[in-house]
Structure 1
């Protein structure tokens, strides 16, 4: 699991839920996880275009194409041409060895069909949504708390 920022062990986490779900949580001592694909908001929990661009290697390939492959508007010296050729060889070798960190472990990028991964990701991930906001949200109460008997 990738931790994007340091965890604050003193942070108070909260979850809006109806009272019966809270009692079930206490009695079973188990969290209920929802499949991301079951969310009403179809964008919620999905991979972002940024993720796709960065993890698929397209951003790196575009950077390499612009800086090392496409012709220059100014004449290049022999050493600049050789440098670009070396950069291309390094890029190709690095691309062959590139791995992508997934929930299933590190997978060689060459073995991943990124368009399928991008679409299927929400079928493979289950979540339990909590927050650490300092203030309450009426919208969250309505969505997750239910009509009556809800707790935070």
Structure 2
């Protein structure tokens, strides 16, 4: 699966010079629905609905109920309350009491780190506009297999997955049941992004003692020679920018193709340009 990442020059310099990929914590994302629950999954995760049900149906007095009947019913209610309290919900960091779901589930977004990639064999004009906002920006091409093989986990993270993002309606849809599902799902209006997501986390973290994360993200060491198939320069870049990108790659001892964007291609308007393009065609074209 061919994937791409669009980035401005400072981010590309950071990638090349540190030989590390930056993953941001999910709580830093602008979309408040990312890493959140659907309506159905809230009912499956939180104990609030069960407590409301017990309060309404088991605790309030009933008409024409004797004292003995009420005492017996309240005793049964205690047993049901105990069973509800023991229920657990699942996260990538293990199981926690459902009574704590509304406090602890949002903490997952603090400790799950993400790098977002676009899935496509070709450049995307919309991605250039959104994520290559600086005219002097680049797009790097890779594959999901190459990316996973080239990344090195460290003491800060022991788990890593590369998953295609699912686009859902948080009102009508439900997750499949995997604890990772909420963190590889986005609202349907973002479906045009065709996102593939690198997700990393430390499965041994205790959310109950670490609800907040002071870091904005983390750097994971990568083998750049394995990750980057080629670098494409923005169609809006200054004429000198391509040489700067080539020099950065050479200084980092990276043998990479640095190409102009196909969006920058001049129209085939005469025989000379047609012959020029014909010479550059790939054998299988």
TM range (shorter): 0.5 to 0.7
Task: Tell me the equivalent position of 1:117.
Answer: 104
TM normalised by structure 1 equals 0.53
Q: Which of structures 1 and 2 has the bigger CA Rg?
A: 2
Q: Which has the higher strand share?
A: 2
Higher relative contact order (CA 8 A, sep 6+): 1
Is the aligned partner of 1:150 residue 2:138? Answer: yes
C-alpha change, 1:117 and 1:18, in structure 2 (3 Å) is same
TM normalised by structure 2 equals 0.32
Task: Tell me the equivalent position of 2:24.
Answer: 34
CA distance in 2, matches of 1:99, 1:133: 39
Matches within 5 A, 1:90-105: 95-105=84-94
CA distance in 1, matches of 2:98, 2:32: 24
CA distance in 1, matches of 2:38, 2:78: 28
- CA deviation vs aligned residue, 1:1-33 (integer Å, no higher than 9, x gap): xxxxxxxxxx22322222442343233232212
- CA deviation vs aligned residue, 1:89-141 (integer Å, no higher than 9, x gap): 9976763443222233222324x151x33555443433211232455443322
The number of residues matched between the two structures is: 119
Is the aligned partner of 1:108 residue 2:97? Answer: yes
Of residues 114, 118, 127, the one that matches 1:131 is 118
- CA deviation vs aligned residue, 1:20-79 (integer Å, no higher than 9, x gap): 42343233232212233333x3425231343433211457x49xx6xxx79xxxxxxxxx
Q: Which has the higher helix share?
A: 1
Structure 2: unaligned runs, 5 residues or longer: 59-76, 141-285
